[in-house]
Structure 1
Amino acid sequence: MTAVAELMDYADVIERFDPVLGLEVHVELNTNTKMFCGCPNQFGGEPNTHVCPTCLGLPGSLPVVNGKAVEGAIRIGLALNCEIAQWCRFARKNYFYPDMPKNFQTSQYDEPIAFNGYLDVTLDDGEVVRVEIERAHMEEDTGKSLHVGGATGRIHGAEHSLLDYNRAGVPLIEIVTKPITGTGERAPEVARAYVTALRDLLRALNVSDVRMDQGSLRCDANVSLMAKDASEFGTRTETKNVNSLRSVERAVRYEMTRQAAVLAGGGTVTQETRHFQEADGTTSSGRTKETAEDYRYFPEPDLVPIAPSREWVEELRGTLPEMPSERRKRIQAEWELSDEELRDLFNTGAVELVQSTVDAGAKPDEARGWWVNFLSQEANSREVELAELAITPAQVARVIALINSGELTNKLAREVVRGVLGGEGEPDEVVEQRGLKVVSDDSALLAAVDEALAANPDIADKIRGGKVQAAGKIVGDVMKATKGQADAKRVRELVLERVGA
């Protein structure tokens, strides 16, 4: 059983040490085929069905560079304000691991395609932190190991391991920051905000689906601590493959408190990789971290260098979409949102859905209310992404139109939406099939009002005596009698008219 690590109180960590971060984010590109062969680049599938001699590293097979992957790498570099290399090449990164069939990874070492950039990151309170980008380079993904048996799903304690090479050779872009210093107690928050901003940027570029739960966006979090009077960085650890935004923040915070306790106790931090444990927010030791010399990098002899022309680079620059930071400012101004409303809108991933609903005729506040509140709750209860719900922006806009025309109340509209989500058809069809349209015939409403007043003569007397708030009981009875299909405001007017109040 693994011993529980000693931790230092976070406030004491900040008082005694300065954190230094380095974030390495791996992005799987959404090209049709893999990086160096024609195998399909698809998530999932039966194990070892998306493979060929090239991505399996069989003798005699030769790689060919995926042009769309190069294009995606350049667009990412430009969006990150990087310089684009005029000439670069691939290298072999040599190490043995069972999920890497060639025993080397085709990557880029000292000649990345993009370098020396930055990304401005906005924290929750509006503070902007500039994160410097060291490099963004191209490489291929590894396969996937499945460790069978044991309690953790990791290799330790497993009875045996299975290997799936479907992912081997998938195009990857690794984005590496320069050391991030000066963030103090906000270091974990900065780490999360950076990965969030990077994810939003990549989504806007449409180069990846950035699904952290499926591994198409993964973060390796490097953390070290410096004593307040120190002039050199401390020894770092690298927490590998953190796969959620919340976990990035938790992993950084935990490593800060763990390393601080080690240093305060007179120990030394081991340079190693570590694994993040989702269940309790801790990290555990992995393997001693290699250096660049251990990988024996050398130029890939089977691939020619890449020399993107300046004309092509500028052509790709012209394809860049509106950057997320600028879009946030525009949307906030156009839709008149507070900072909190804007944050909720982006955190729920509802921006595109709300925009499409507005384009279909709804007002921004109405569209935002449905997607951020009710539909977000429905997505959570179904454990799916908001965009995966079985309802379109046009259908939501139609429901909103039915409310505005007085044909539906908000309560009835929620029932209509649930019907659409359940596959019962278009909103109007659900209204018809379920009989949900508002009762707008005053004669029918008056009959229900008279019945409710007759059943509650004491309440009727109170209303006549000036206690108009007592009308709420009669309104409630009428709403119940009409199965919620009456306009409560109109019912109240009829009640007061009927008793002469």
Structure 2
Amino acid sequence: MLDLTYQPPKPKVIAGAKYDWELVIGMEVHAQVSSEAKLFSGASTKFGAEPNSNVSFVDAAMPGMLPVINEFCVEQAVRTGLGLKAQINLKSAFDRKNYFYPDLPQGYQISQLYEPIVGEGEVLVDMEPGIARLVRIERIHMEQDAGKSIHDMDPHMSFVDLNRTGVALMEIVSRPDIRGPEEAAAYVTKLRQILRYLGTCDGNMQNGNLRADVNVSVCRPGQYEKYQETQDFSHLGTRCEIKNMNSMRFIQAAIEYEARRQIAIVEAGGTVDQETRLYDPDKNETRSMRSKEEAHDYRYFPDPDLLPLEIEQAWVDDIAASLPELPDEKKARFMGDFGLSEYDANVLTAETDSAAYFEAAAQGRDGKTVANWVINELFGRLNRDDTAITDSPMSPAQLGGVVDLVASDTINGKMAKDLFEIVYTEGGDPAQVAEAKGMKQVTDTGAIEAAVDEVIAANPAQVEKARENPKLAGWFVGQVMKATGGKANPKVVNQLIAQKLKD
């Protein structure tokens, strides 16, 4: 059973300022729905296509074209809500968010302001072994993505690619429960992990399929507690939003910089402007993009082309019944069934493919031993080769075969690492490879004893030193292993040397 102690958010205190300040962070994570078609059209969502090749008449806002809801996208949003232990709203509605931008051909974005499809939920964020933080989810709403403006093809012109226009997004809005840069990155990491387990978003941040808007403010100690009591946001200070963050490292760096910028303004007697900012990783600074808009600035109103979305509880129940085992559940099971530490279970369950590999290799074997081989040997080798575990040249059965040979004393630990390398690079059945390569360790006590006697007889001075200092017995073990080509059973060697040095 997973034994986690929940602790309330721990504030990050910014040092080096005139006064003590605490960070308050809320996040809006935009997750692209894993769907082959867009939210309101049948156009492809394939990444990397030629510019403006995945655009339907609906996406391009041609006159008379009406949106038609993609049921699968709705299902993915419901699945995400269930995975985050959130309330599913059986009735929701779409609204028009009006603003002008070159890559928004309609002149508005179809979103959900007043009646989102998913209500309040939660994410349990692992911070350190045995300690977790609870971040509350305020809502998840569905909306269509905008296109992409391209500015680097011609110094005098900008271009627009509408391939992303209309792609389904889930905007996952947190409460301002995050209290530091590390917690922010951990929250996005955990959210990404859950989405990937659910199969509702691939979490590819490099392609922009998962990106975060980070709302940062600073307050004096005690003000956050007042907000908790009153739900009055004025206690938290003026917030600034940092847009489109797609890197855990950049999220942390941007928060650190923005917090110090705001503190410097306030301590100098100024006022922080509520605005939207961009993070420049080259200069490690945020810079102003535009004033922060409120909901009324977008002139939201119900979309007249879309009826309210009504779903049945039975359909929600069917989706709930099909949910996979989620990360926290899998981690708890790995710790219980295989006796793993929380750290090892965390590493192995970080990705579904890693968890599946380990579980296949561990069947019928000692889980801790298999975990050590997967984490230390296999992951290390895959990282050096820049290879995903799904493309591993060593199968779970082959890795399990190496573990079996060590467990049966057929080979020793050093031989096992050599065998691992051979099977990883050349393939084959580990038992057959060990036989063909003459890698089986010597377990004949008589042969090993003869080697021990020979080493002891040849080194009388070293024998006297070892009898005075038993720690030096390891030198004899190394000499015997060398004399036997590393094939002697180390356990037997140690026992014989210890016995003979006493005689």
TM-score band, normalised by shorter chain:
0.7 to 0.9
**Whole-angstrom CA distance in 1 between matches of 2:138 and 2:469:** 72
SS at match of 2:308: coil
1:31-56 per-residue CA deviation (whole Å, 9 max, x = no partner) reads 23232233333343555544444434
Opposite residue 176 of structure 1, the aligned amino acid is V
Contact 1:226–1:234 under 8 Å retained in 2: yes
| 1:265 maps to which of 263, 268, 278 | 268
Opposite residue 451 of structure 2, the aligned amino acid is V
Task: Let me know the Cα RMSD of the aligned residues.
Answer: 3.9
Instruction: Report what 2:183 is aligned to.
Output: 190
**Whole-angstrom CA distance in 2 between matches of 1:200 and 1:206:** 10
Alignment of 1:370-409 (within 5 A): 370-386=373-389, 388-409=391-412
SS at match of 1:449: helix
Instruction: Report what 1:5 is aligned to.
Output: none
Contact 2:142–2:171 under 8 Å retained in 1: yes
**Alignment pair present for 1:19 and 2:23:** yes
**Whole-angstrom CA distance in 1 between matches of 2:101 and 2:433:** 56
The alpha carbon displacement at 1:90 in A equals 2.2
Instruction: Report what 1:438 is aligned to.
Output: 440
**Whole-angstrom CA distance in 1 between matches of 2:272 and 2:325:** 43
The unaligned stretches of length 5 or more in structure 2 are: 1-11, 224-231
**Whole-angstrom CA distance in 2 between matches of 1:475 and 1:124:** 40
Opposite residue 414 of structure 2, the aligned amino acid is K
Instruction: Report what 1:169 is aligned to.
Output: 166
**Whole-angstrom CA distance in 2 between matches of 1:119 and 1:196:** 11
Compute the TM-score of the two structures, normalised by the length of structure 2.
0.80
Opposite residue 394 of structure 1, the aligned amino acid is A
Alignment of 1:63-462 (within 5 A): 63-124=67-128, 126-148=130-152, 163-180=160-177, 186-227=179-220, 232=234, 233-278=236-281, 282-346=285-349, 350-359=354-363, 361-386=364-389, 388-422=391-425, 424-428=427-431, 431=434, 435=437, 437-440=439-442, 442=444, 449=451, 453=455, 456-458=458-460, 462=464
**Alpha carbons of structure 1 residues 305 and 429: separation in structure 2 relative to 1, 3 Å:** farther
The alpha carbon displacement at 1:219 in A equals 1.7
Alignment of 1:1-80 (within 5 A): 10-11=14-15, 16-59=20-63, 61-80=65-84
**Whole-angstrom CA distance in 2 between matches of 1:276 and 1:420:** 46
Compute the TM-score of the two structures, normalised by the length of structure 1.
0.80
**Alpha carbons of structure 1 residues 455 and 170: separation in structure 2 relative to 1, 3 Å:** farther
The unaligned stretches of length 5 or more in structure 1 are: 1-7, 150-154
Opposite residue 331 of structure 1, the aligned amino acid is F
The alpha carbon displacement at 1:481 in A equals 5.8
Contact 1:93–1:107 under 8 Å retained in 2: yes
**Alpha carbons of structure 1 residues 413 and 9: separation in structure 2 relative to 1, 3 Å:** same
1:253-283 per-residue CA deviation (whole Å, 9 max, x = no partner) reads 3322221111111222232223334467543
Aligned residue-pair number: 481
1:69-107 per-residue CA deviation (whole Å, 9 max, x = no partner) reads 101111222333333223222233333444445443332
**Whole-angstrom CA distance in 2 between matches of 1:178 and 1:126:** 23
**Whole-angstrom CA distance in 2 between matches of 1:126 and 1:473:** 41
Contact 2:147–2:163 under 8 Å retained in 1: yes
**Alpha carbons of structure 1 residues 420 and 36: separation in structure 2 relative to 1, 3 Å:** farther
**Whole-angstrom CA distance in 2 between matches of 1:160 and 1:427:** 61
**Whole-angstrom CA distance in 2 between matches of 1:224 and 1:245:** 19
1:291-347 per-residue CA deviation (whole Å, 9 max, x = no partner) reads 323333333344333111222223323333444334444433444444444445455
